[in-house]
Amino acid sequence: MRGGDLHWIWKPYSIYQDVDLVYGVKTFEDGSGFTNAQSLMNVIETLINLYYLYLAHRSVPSPSAPLVGFTGAVMTLSKTVLYWAQEYYCNYCAVGHNTVQDLIVLWIIPNGAWIVLPAFITYRLGKDISQSLASSEAIARAYKKQ
């Protein structure tokens, strides 16, 4: 936070804490639990994504890697949609004070990336998982016919 002893590391963040009040000092002082709960989910999401990278990029990739990656992407996507829904249902209580230009440039575009990219990853990994399941089913049917 602005004025904190480590603010020098996160100086550009002071702009964002003015754009999105969920990350502002007042929300912190009011004891809102949403930011802390979201941060906990971010930690879990990051661990899942790191685990996916490990499974997918070791010398022999794990067949469960797509499922782990899909889980992490769905988590990112749903968490971001929840965040946007929160803004809608509270009548834009944390971002409604911005100009339209600031809202688009500093909130919608950066946060929109956390919807578009995970949606693409979810689609791609979901398709891979579906194809694997279809292949396994075809093999099982062929085996039963023998």
Q: How many CA atoms lie within 13 A of 96 on its CB side?
A: 9
Q: Encoding tokens for residue 132?
A: 């694997």
Residue (of 63, 133, 136) closest to 144 by Cα position: 136
Of 29-38, 57-66, 97-106, the one with minimum mean pLDDT is 29-38
Residue 72 forms part of a structural domain: yes
Compute the average pLDDT of residues 94-108.
96
Cα–Cα distance, 26 to 100 (Å, whole number): 23
Residue 142: predicted pLDDT: 85
Instruction: Report the domain count for the chain.
Output: 1
Residue 15 forms part of a structural domain: yes
Compute the average pLDDT of residues 22-35.
88
Q: What is the pTM of this model?
A: 0.86
Residue 131: predicted pLDDT: 95
Residue 1 forms part of a structural domain: no
- Residue 8 banded pLDDT, cuts 50, 70, 90: confident
pLDDT higher than 80, residue 64? yes
Residue 21: predicted pLDDT: 94
Residue 112 forms part of a structural domain: yes
Residue 97 forms part of a structural domain: yes
Q: Are 125 and 70 in contact (CB under 8 A)?
A: yes
Domain range for residue 38?
A: 7-144
Q: Are 46 and 75 in contact (CB under 8 A)?
A: no
Q: Encode 78-94: b = buried (16+ Cβ within 10 Å), e = exposed.
A: ebbeebbeebeeeeeeb
Residue 2 forms part of a structural domain: no
Of 7-21, 62-76, 102-116, the one with minimum mean pLDDT is 7-21
Compute the average pLDDT of residues 72-98.
96
Sign of CA dihedral 83, 112, 48, 36: negative
Residue 133 forms part of a structural domain: yes
Q: Encoding tokens for residue 52?
A: 């996916």
- Residue 109 banded pLDDT, cuts 50, 70, 90: very high
Of 4-8, 88-92, 114-118, the one with minimum mean pLDDT is 4-8
Residue type, 96: G
Higher pLDDT, 41 or 12: 41
